[in-house]
Amino acid sequence: MANTVLIGGQWGDEGKGRIIDLLAERADLVVRYQGGSNAGHEVHAGGQKYVLHLIPSGILHAGKICIIGNGVVVDPIELVHEIRQLRRRGVKISTNLKLSETAHLVMPYHKLLDERREFLKGKGRIGTTKRGIGPAYGDKASRTGLRVLDLLQPARFRKRLKQRVEENNRLLRALGAPALSFEKIARDYLRVGRFLKPFVVNSVVLVNAAVEEGREILFEGAQGTLLDIDFGTYPFVTSSHPTAGGACVGSGVPPGAIHEVVGVVKAYTTRVGEGPFPTEQRNGVGRELQTVGDEFGRTTGRARRCGWFDAVISRYARMVNGITKLAITKLDVLDRMPELKIAVAYRVGRKLLRTLPADLEVLKRCVPVYQRYPGWLSDTTKVRRYADLPKKAQTYLEAIRRETGAPISVISVGPKREDTIYVKNKR
């Protein structure tokens, strides 16, 4: 029995949903612990493609309890939409989905504020998903947020909402945005509140009961380590804790209840949105990775920036998350590259750095120090055993393992469940 946190070791979109879908087979519960509908986790299962935003990716396995934990910020309108869409496609969603009563709500003014602030920042924008994530977590920290449990108490909800809309309308007007109608928000939210009521639980008690009973829990991180509000490339980050520690505060389980941390990394690096990205390739290599890897955001459709694998950040991700196992995705995307590079350090002036500098002004000046690897120039998509991978691919993977400092347990060579190589002897 092992409770596992699965996190992204880069800037998001590492293929977390795909790996969760594999690991969920063994798990009893799958718990989302942070983020909101900014996430887009694509899973290919049973010949179908799904993109999950708020609902844990374990939902595609019958019989798994999927929990949206207290640390998630929930746009209830989006959630209802997602439930309906999945049901329409034959996914069973009833008592298998649970929504934490203490999760904070994303409100229409959060989305408008997010949009407006981004617009006003101009060139300095973060490139957010405009899903209201920053303002929703801002209200949570300011102790002015509305929570799922408020939705279930119409009179109290209306009273609190009125005050929140009045304050936010003043803010919106000052920022040049239109004011919102309190009545419309109240009507829309109370309607979805009635729909969501059967899913609402005290998730903290539920998850801890599962811990006591020795049931296997999988915690599904969204975003990635470098987007963590404390450990990422601030301010070009999201507003939550995608790192392993976030699983405790975002679900209520104590640290001792977590046994494994799976770090998912792509065999190269991508980033969507603004902010520093030392190994970015704004050239033919980047375009090739983008095209072959189909690197377009699953939430906003934006093109993802692409570059070489960066072991400085994967090493950092191993450190801050305590990664015990690596899952490496999209190896197949590199099949046609004649040469590959891995950044093992950064050079700033005369200094050589093996760790990530906190100051973005320094990070911006960092020049990656690369190790070069010959490409294998052959198709890996049909390979199912590590030993059957081309020797050059094994050398490349071994370099990722060595430079990151964590053993590889899974390698994916395609988006489908079966396109997977399980690595038994923990290389």
Residues of this chain that bind Mg ion (CB under 5 A): 13, 40, 298
The minimum distance between CB 41 and ligand IMO, in angstroms, equals 6
294: which residues sit within 8 A by CB, 6+ positions away?
A: none
Residue with tokens 């995705």: 329
CB 357 → ligand GDP: shortest distance, Å?
A: 25
CA distances in angstroms from 147 to 102, 110, 139, 191, listed in the order given: 6, 14, 11, 15
- Closest to ligand IMO by CB, 91 vs 222, is 222
Distance in Å, CB of 296 to ligand GDP, minimum:
9
Q: Does 329 bind ligand GDP (CB under 6 A)?
A: yes
How remote is the C-alpha of 200 from its chain's centroid?
Answer: 23
Candidate list 134, 145, 286, 368; residue touching ligand IMO; CB under 6 A? 134
* Token digits of residue 232: 């990422």
Q: Under rule CB under 6 A, how many of the chain's residues touch ligand GDP?
A: 22
**Bond prior to 235 in cis (omega within 30° of 0):** yes
Interacting residues with ligand GDP between 6 and 65 (CB under 6 A): 8, 12-18, 40-42, 44
**Interface residue with ligand GDP, options 104, 318, 330, 401 (CB under 6 A):** 330
Should residue 409 be labelled a site residue for ligand GDP when binding is judged by CB under 6 A? no
Radius of gyration of the chain (CA): 21
CA distances for 264 relative to 213, 330, 422, 424, angstroms: 28, 11, 14, 17
Task: Name the closest residue to ligand IMO (Cβ).
Answer: 273
Q: Which of 13, 75, 139, 310 is catalytic?
A: 13
- 44 included as an active-site residue: no
What is the smallest separation between the CB atom of 11 and ligand IMO, expressed in angstroms? Answer: 6
With binding defined as CB under 6 A, does residue 333 bind ligand GDP? yes
Cβ burial of 81 (10 Å; 0-12, 13-18, 19+) is: middle
Residue identified by tokens 């994303």 is 106
CB neighbour list of residue 195: distance below 8 Å, 6 or more residues apart: 80
Spatial CA neighbour of 157 closest among 180, 191, 122 = 191
**C-beta of 43 vs 206, nearer to Mg ion:** 43
Residue 259 is a catalytic residue:
no
Residues with a catalytic annotation lie at 13, 41
Residues in contact with ligand IMO by CB under 6 A are 8, 12-13, 38-41, 126-129, 131, 133-134, 222-224, 227, 238-239, 272-273
Residues in contact with ligand GDP by CB under 6 A are 8, 12-18, 40-42, 44, 298, 329-330, 332-333, 412-415, 419
